[in-house]
Amino acid sequence: MSTPTTVSAPGKAGAPRVAFWDNARFALIALVVIGHAISTVRHDSALAYGIYTYIFLFHMPALILLSGYFSRANASSKTIRATVQLIVLWVLWEGIWAVIGFAAIDETPADTFLVSPSWTLWYLVTIVTMRIMLPYMAQLRHPLLVSIVIALLGGVIPVIGTEFSAARTLTFLPFFIAGWLARDRGWLSGQWFALPRRWVRVASWGILAFIAAVFLVLPGLRSWWRLDSWLTWRDGYDGRFADAPIGDWSPHHWLETTLGGLAVTAVLLALAAAMTFAVLGVTPRRRLVITDWGARTLSVYLLHGPIIWVLRHTGVIDAVGGFGELGVAILIVGAVALAALLALAPVERAFRWVLVPNLDWLFGSARQEADRGAR
């Protein structure tokens, strides 16, 4: 067996899905839901803070790497349609969040509506931007190196922030480019990745365990450095040091701020890359119960937000978190259960109209496109 286990896409004809990638997708999206579930109680205990920060070190870089792996550096009709689909989905969900805010707390859209993406929607904007950039990046001799330079220098420019998710897009760009390169150049096509050798598994578990151990032996980290604030990747280096100085180190001189920000960001991105590699190294290659769920992660990503929002605003999460470490455990188990529920096929079908908007009116139906291509 030279490739990871494959499974047919549920209800669809065509190339079979690879079980490994769907397993990875569900594991990562479950971490997204866990992170959001414990976000508002993460400062109540060292355990909650450690788990939250550990997750945020790598889960979005890993998801973006997967998005890059399945992206194409061309302007085919399929690529264009997929990109426009994401833009429409973003605008639609900005409207949904505006309705939720108005109906629940009488909140009207802010001046930054459709400029600064609402909560989880930054990911859609970031992926759209990266897909638009990819054909140009692909023309470079060393696209990954250039993307790393862009990621590091983005924090130097103070005007780059949450508008259109610019700061996060630049920061995570190397992971998207690495994912695309991994497929385009066959970096992951070898037997060592399809059926990881023992050294790959040992190294992967070792990386994940070592970083987890650091949080265990340094329970006072949250009072020394608000690392979680850095991992939101919203501001430039000035803002990051202002909100989360490292101990007594809060540089004010431009040069010190720039060099310090470059160094810290480089270390954090290197950790994210190592942990992403490690997670992929330990992800099961065979078909599991989560494999089918991993084919419906968009449903989880979009639908869990309103549910977590309601649980926050009704005080449920704070009440559960009040039980201390037991409460954190309950929230984590509940988050995984919620992710599994939202990944079920009946749920996706019920909400398909807000998950995969029909754009036949804009592009024409698939049959019409096929007819035009045959002429």
Q: 240 lies in a domain?
A: yes
Q: 330 lies in a domain?
A: yes
Residue 228 pLDDT greater than 70, yes or no: yes
9/268: higher pLDDT: 268
Domain count, the chain: 1
Q: How confident is the model at residue 105 (pLDDT cuts 50, 70, 90)?
A: confident
Q: 1 lies in a domain?
A: no
Q: How confident is the model at residue 198 (pLDDT cuts 50, 70, 90)?
A: confident
Q: Residue 298 is part of which domain span?
A: 6-374
Q: Nearest-CA neighbor of 239 among 248, 249, 230, 247? A: 230
Q: How confident is the model at residue 78 (pLDDT cuts 50, 70, 90)?
A: confident
Q: How confident is the model at residue 75 (pLDDT cuts 50, 70, 90)?
A: confident
> Cα–Cα distances in Å, from 213 out to 47, 54, 82, 222, 271?
12, 10, 41, 15, 14
Q: 312 lies in a domain?
A: yes
Quick one: pLDDT at residue 2?
39
Q: 340 lies in a domain?
A: yes
Quick one: pLDDT at residue 36?
97
Q: 77 lies in a domain?
A: yes
Q: 85 lies in a domain?
A: yes
- DSSP letter, residue 17: E
Share of the chain above pLDDT 70, in %: 93
